[in-house]
Structure 1
């Protein structure tokens, strides 16, 4: 789809309109010669007629007839306003359907609370829909293997671009993978809240408090299947599970704007939390083994930590907000 496709213009129409902006007024023969988009089988006369019907071209009678583009400020702005009106109507209708769906959901039988999704394409489709369905908060327990790594990253970027809060708990084994830390760092820079745990019991995706997607298999070669959980006691339990793991998980310390260790130590802290060896940490940092050892020792001394992992924990905890103080009744 071209840039003006959402306004109902075909690629041929957009190209011919752009040519007319540079050659108005012009005869049909002039446009046929000047039109770089004259693909085999194209119909300049038919395309002109379509542009005229959409208010983008005006024609002066001849002979020969001459055609001129209507100013974009007039013609295209009108199409944009019409498209916006249509989108508002579509959004209102979508909300009506959602309200009707939720009303039926409250009356549905227990067996309708859970959908069983089978097949790679169907699961990928519901995974993408879950991202789009989130309106305020998206939460995830993230562990390998991943069905569609590229699609998952793109969906996260789209979600963050919409201004939603995204909370992801990563399994430590994934953070230790080559390139994973840089990928997470990019997400954190875009606004994602990332934490890590040594192990996760399952993969889980939550859209607000309304929907959950629970993959059923972890084996890449196994049959692909997942559960979609609608509002119910089971969904509340899954939300409670995530919230509990989120509280236990440690921030990866990759946000340069957050309080805590100096920015240069942020990646080191994340690597310490992931439980990697000094040699692997050095490779991730792009420094020598001895340099990595020295930086780890300096961080441990600064934080008063006895072990590497304790240093990572203390540095990460310095980024976490203090828990609320309970007042005695």
Structure 2
């Protein structure tokens, strides 16, 4: 599909070949929203390498926003810290990322689709109203996100019991309803919720519910939950 203001590209190679110059042309603002480190890294890095341009240039604001899927393991955390050390601002959203996107200089938005047989479609949009809408969504999520320095460790590995409790928190069930759903006493349920909140570093049930949505979303593959 192609119009003057909307172009759909298929796969990272075509993204770099036909849109790589847009990455290199960024001068004021380069915003990235992604569920994890895989969606954009290969294409963006290839474009900057081919253009022989450093990612961080004077006067350019670079911000990268990820869901907690990006903290899936120690190596991912190390990669994020290297990104932050290069001068790029990095934040982590407790909830899922509504739309994986790149916004360049308030003029261009690139939206990533879900992989189909291992290949993503990327939609390049130049329509001002759409670009501003994507940018506004990014800014709202960014403001509520956590700085990387406050995300010192990846989330704990989840047991089946922990996943069940997280689902009750994400659904907003009362303790009584959660205990009934899991077939345990109210006292046992509350104790397990408290233990899980401590492991997640959640300071409230509300925060635990937000973290639950992010973590359970992070366990979903391209065809749904695993």
Instruction: Summarize the alignment of residues 1-329 of structure 1 with structure 2, pairs less than 5 Å apart.
Output: 111-144=3-36, 146=38, 149-153=41-45, 155=48, 158-161=54-57, 164-198=60-94, 199-219=96-116, 221-253=117-149, 269-272=150-153, 274-276=154-156, 308-310=201-203
| Distance (whole Å) between structure 2 residues aligned to residue 206 and residue 228 of structure 1 | 10
State the SS of the aligned residue for 1:116: strand
Shifted more, 113-122 versus 135-144: the winner is 113-122
Against the structure 1 CA distance between its residues 218 and 178, is the aligned structure 2 distance closer, same or farther, given a 3 Å change threshold? farther
Instruction: Report how far residue 176 of structure 1 moved.
Output: 2.0
Instruction: Report how far residue 234 of structure 1 moved.
Output: 1.2
Instruction: Report how far residue 153 of structure 1 moved.
Output: 4.3
Against the structure 1 CA distance between its residues 147 and 201, is the aligned structure 2 distance closer, same or farther, given a 3 Å change threshold? closer
Contact 1:145 1:218 in 2 (8 A): no
Against the structure 1 CA distance between its residues 148 and 114, is the aligned structure 2 distance closer, same or farther, given a 3 Å change threshold? closer
Listed as ranges, the gaps of 5+ residues in structure 1 are: 1-110, 254-268, 279-304, 314-329
| Distance (whole Å) between structure 2 residues aligned to residue 201 and residue 248 of structure 1 | 13
Taking structure 2 as the reference length, the TM-score comes to 0.59
Residues matched between the structures, number: 160
Contact 1:131 1:159 in 2 (8 A): no
| Distance (whole Å) between structure 2 residues aligned to residue 251 and residue 229 of structure 1 | 29
Shifted more, 157-166 versus 142-151: the winner is 142-151
Instruction: Report how far residue 163 of structure 1 moved.
Output: 5.0
Against the structure 1 CA distance between its residues 202 and 177, is the aligned structure 2 distance closer, same or farther, given a 3 Å change threshold? farther
Instruction: Report how far residue 252 of structure 1 moved.
Output: 1.1
Listed as ranges, the gaps of 5+ residues in structure 2 are: 159-197, 208-226
Against the structure 1 CA distance between its residues 125 and 178, is the aligned structure 2 distance closer, same or farther, given a 3 Å change threshold? farther
| Distance (whole Å) between structure 2 residues aligned to residue 276 and residue 182 of structure 1 | 16
| Distance (whole Å) between structure 1 residues aligned to residue 7 and residue 45 of structure 2 | 25
Contact 2:156 2:200 in 1 (8 A): no
Contact 2:13 2:43 in 1 (8 A): no
Q: Highest CA radius of gyration, 1 or 2?
A: 1
